[in-house]
Amino acid sequence: MAAYEFAVTVKTQYLAEQSNPERDQYVFSYTITIRNTGSVAAQLISRHWVITDANNQVQEVRGLGVVGHQPLLQPGQQFEYTSGTESATPQGSMYGEYFCVAEDGHRFEVPIPEFVLSQPGALH
């Protein structure tokens, strides 16, 4: 039986040089590695993000591909990219999902586990 699975890992970074706390602008980057852990080649078609700041302001982002790419991953292959987001608070979180289509036409979603965006020293 075919397995449709991608594994997602995330690393985040606070970008102090692009942030302006006096204006409530906190910029974060995140590097995501997507690995095809299934048994069928599949393409990442689109993404959906839910971004929440410390004031519980929620922003939803939907779009095709990631950083201009719709990578087709063979079993065992991985794709890494870095993107970013801006928040009005020094802490927040993001989670979401990727929508993928396998070579055989099967559609599936890949959950992106929630991760924290935090300015160093902002968590007490």
Convert the pLDDT of each residue in 33-79 to its tens digit: 999 999 999 999 999 999 999 999 999 999 999 999 999 999 999 99
- Give the chain's mean pLDDT: 95
Segment 89-118 shows an average pLDDT of: 97
pLDDT of residue 123: 55
- How is residue 16 annotated by DSSP? G
Q: Which of 1-5, 9-13, 41-45 has the lowest mean pLDDT?
A: 1-5
- Whole-structure pTM over 0.85, yes or no? yes
CA-nearest of 99, 97, 85, 20 to 57 is 85
Contacts of 86 (CB under 8 A, 6+ apart): 25, 26, 27, 28
pLDDT at 15: 97
Q: Which pLDDT does position 2 carry in this prediction?
A: 83
pLDDT (0 to 100) of residue 1: 79
Share above pLDDT 90 across residues of the chain, in percent, rounded to a whole number: 94
Q: Is the pLDDT of residue 124 over 60?
A: no
